[in-house]
Amino acid sequence: MLTEIVCPNKLFFSKDVDFVILPGAEGDFGVLNHHSPLISNLRSGLIYIYIENKIINIFFIKQGVCQITQNKCIILTERAEETQDIDLSDEKIDDEEYLKLKKTIINKKYYN
């Protein structure tokens, strides 16, 4: 299943993967190959990407929308980041709301 995360300024991620967990507007959901066509809003949150039952990437996104067709999963978001690259202590981000959101969500992830 081709999964793409697209931001306004670039194609952020594009890869053939097995399984994706998305932060849907009404709760997280997983997408496998041959999912029924779906268009959904996404909350700010984490996207987990699996290949062969292993998480290979965890991305943080700031809201968005996704379109799922037979074997394609397209995620449009304003901002996306690889969680491993996120260094919460030294941020030069002007967007305070975004930073706060990121902090809570990422802390929660480690907490779980």
Partner 1 sequence: MPSLKDLRNRISSVKSTKKITSAMKMVAAAKLKKAQDIAIDARPYTERMKSIIESLKNNLLTEFPTPSLISGTGKNDTTLLIVCSADRGLCGGFNSSVIKYSKKVVKKITKNGGKVSFMFIGKKAGNAMKKEFKNDTLDIFSEVANPTIDFKLVQKIRDKLIQYFNENYFDRCFLIYTKFKSAISQEVVKTQIIPLKNESDSSDEKRSYDFEPSEEEILQEIVPNNIATQIFTGLLESLASEHGARMTAMDNATRNANDKIDDLTMFYNRSRQAVITKELIEIISGAEAI
What pairs with residue 47 in β-bridges? 59
Asked if residue 99 binds partner 1 (CB under 8 A), the reply is no
Per-residue interface string for the shown chain with partner 1, residues 44-83, x marking contact by CB under 8 A: -------------------x-x-x-x----x-x-x-----
Total residues interacting with partner 1, rule: CB under 8 A: 24
Closest approach, Cβ 34 to partner 1, in A, equals: 14
- Which H or E run contains 111? helix 96-111
How many C-alpha atoms does 31 have within 13 Å on its Cβ side? 32
Six-digit token pair at 22?
A: 């998305």
Which of positions 3-42 make contact with partner 1 (CB under 8 A)?
Answer: 4, 6-11, 24-26, 36-41
